[in-house]
Amino acid sequence: MKVNEICAGITALFPQKYQAALQKALARHEDIYEIRVRKQQPLVLLSANNTYFISAAGELVFSPMNAAVIAPEEIESIFAKLCRYSVYSFKESLNEGYVTLPGGARVGIAASAVVKNGEISAVKEIAALNFRIVRAVKTAAGEVLEALKNAHFPSAIIIGAPCSGKTTLLREACRLLSSGYSGMYQKCTVVDERGELAAMHGGIAGFELGANTDVLSFFPKPVGILNAVRTLSPDWIIADEIGSLQECRSVLQGLNSGVRFLISMHAGSIAQAKRKAQFRLLCESGDFGAVICLGSGKNLGKVEEIEPI
Amino acid sequence: MKYFFIALLCTSIVLLSHIYAAKYKWRVKRLESFRQFLVFAKSEVTYVSTPVLEIVKKYDKLYAGSLPFLNPLKEPVAACVKENLQREEALDTKQKQMICDFFAGFGTQDEEASVRLLEHYRAMADSELQTAAPECREKRKLIHRLSLLGALGVAILLI
């Protein structure tokens, strides 16, 4: 799905009075990467260099002073459309705080949790929605793979702060590996727990992932990784946001089965990552060759540092 | 010639009454199809968590034409069904309201509540069928008999 189709899909979720302003803003400012909707607060559009608001007249402004405020029924209407008027269909992802739109755009949800027996059973009283605009960048992964080439393409960990371009880089790296970058068409399996990496719809990926790629969509990462190793004979497994120890252990199991991994983790810097037990556990396996740190803000999506492990 | 036109007139009366009586036959069929849809939707919700519009499209593909008010549809399904039901002639006001109320609530809650909603409306559909089936049968018989009597009366008067 192209970026303008994804943007059109997001814009269509909003009440009529905001649609024209949003369409204009997204077309004019291609660096807008988030739209934030909060109950009784102005609509906020975030780009790398600016924060915009939408005025009552439908113009893009830099101050929230005269900005239009989202009414409670408007956010509820957006939420209902987001869930395709079928809340039960999205129960699992709602409990984890997100919904993935067709095209791979992830919508983060801030709400009140209903907790039963220590687990989140439902969410209620939607307070805010965070629409992340997916923009595919073709050149992000070339530098990383070039750096890994000398070490014969070992497994690697991509780290970065939220919105630093980790998912974009993983997607592009998968495409390059699967398309013969390393001299062979590598068999890649994408374990796409949140539906963002591949944006599968009807069994077809919304993004280019290469000719030799399989996708496990909405599988929890530990299950998806083990299923992939057992049934899909991958050369590479690509997974986003490895966080829990359970996920790390499943990665280690995969590594011990001879599969290479390209994974991402949340951390602001390599020094910060080294303080995480999960990162140290993966590094101690001896199978990861490099850690790549991505920048954020003005250096969004750029490689800041590559360190061998 | 005169007898030909009398025969034609009587046949027209009987045919028109037959068309009118068909409404009652279709009423029962619509209710049976609606009940079938509820059963189908329950398994779609329970096992595959299919969104409402997809459930309706799947059902319509399997049983094309059995519930005309499910076609055409787009999201929000509830609003579309309400609009399509205005053109539905076979069902009475109470039955249309029942279907509108169902679609207004379907999809607004989690899986457990959605399944309970489906079961509740299935029970309502069963109850409607129990009343409507014999009622419709009687009405069709009455209309046919009246039409035959009417045709006979017209024939006698004209002859």
Cα B9 off chain centre by = 30
Q: Looking at residue A187, what DSSP letter applies?
A: -
Residue A9 has pLDDT above 80, yes or no: yes
- pLDDT band, very low/low/confident/very high, at A192 (cuts 50, 70, 90): very high
- Indicate the pLDDT class of residue A140, thresholds 50, 70 and 90: low
Task: Say yes or no for a CB contact (<8 Å) between B45 and A80.
Answer: no
In one-letter notation, the amino acid at residue A125 is E
Q: In this complex, which of A85, A91, A122 lies closest to B76 when CB atoms are compared?
A: A85
Confidence of residue B157 (pLDDT cuts 50, 70, 90): confident
A201 touches chain B (CB under 8 A): no
B-contacting residues in A 250-279 (Cβ below 8 Å): none
Query: Angle B2-43/B93-105 helices, nearest 10 degrees?
Result: 20
Q: How many CB pairs under 8 A join A and B?
A: 45
Q: Does the pLDDT value for residue A95 go beyond 60?
A: yes
Q: Which of A87, A89, A122 lies at the smallest CB-CB distance from B50?
A: A89
CA distances in angstroms from B4 to B1, B16, B147, B154, B155, listed in the order given? 5, 18, 19, 13, 11
Predicted local distance difference test score (pLDDT) of residue A156:
95
Strands A155-160 and A288-294: parallel
Residue in B53, B75, B110 nearest the CB of A88? B110
Distance CA(A188)–CA(A186), nearest Å, equals: 6
Are the beta carbons of B51 and A81 separated by less than 8 Å?
A: no
- Residue A13, classed as helix, strand or coil, is coil
Mutate to test the interface with A, among B43, B56, B58, B110 (most CBs of A within 10 A): B110
| Nearest-neighbour CA in chain B from A125: distance (Å) | 13
**Chain mean position to CA A74:** 26
- A129 in Cβ contact with A79 (< 8 Å): yes
Assess: ipTM above 0.85: no
Per-residue pLDDT of B96-150, as tens digits, reads 999 999 999 999 998 999 999 999 999 999 999 999 999 999 999 999 899 989 8
Strand partners, A37: A129
Q: Name chain B contacts of A80, Cβ cutoff 8 Å.
A: 76, 108
- Confirm or reject contact between A86 and chain B (CB < 8 A): yes
The pLDDT assigned to A136 comes to 58
Chain B touched by A88 (CB under 8 Å): yes
What is d(CA B116, CA A88) in angstroms, rounded to the nearest whole number? 12
**Contact (Cβ atoms closer than 8 angstroms) between residue A141 and residue A176:** yes
All residues at 6 or more sequence positions from A179 whose CB lies less than 8 Å from its CB, including other chains:
A185, A210, A211, A212
pLDDT score of A147: 85
Alpha carbons B44 and B65: distance in angstroms, whole number = 20
Gap from A82 CA to chain B (nearest CA, Å): 11
Neighbouring-strand partners of residue A34:
A46, A132
What pLDDT is attached to residue A141?
86
Q: Chain-centre distance of CA B23, in angstroms?
A: 8
**What was the pLDDT predicted at B9?**
87
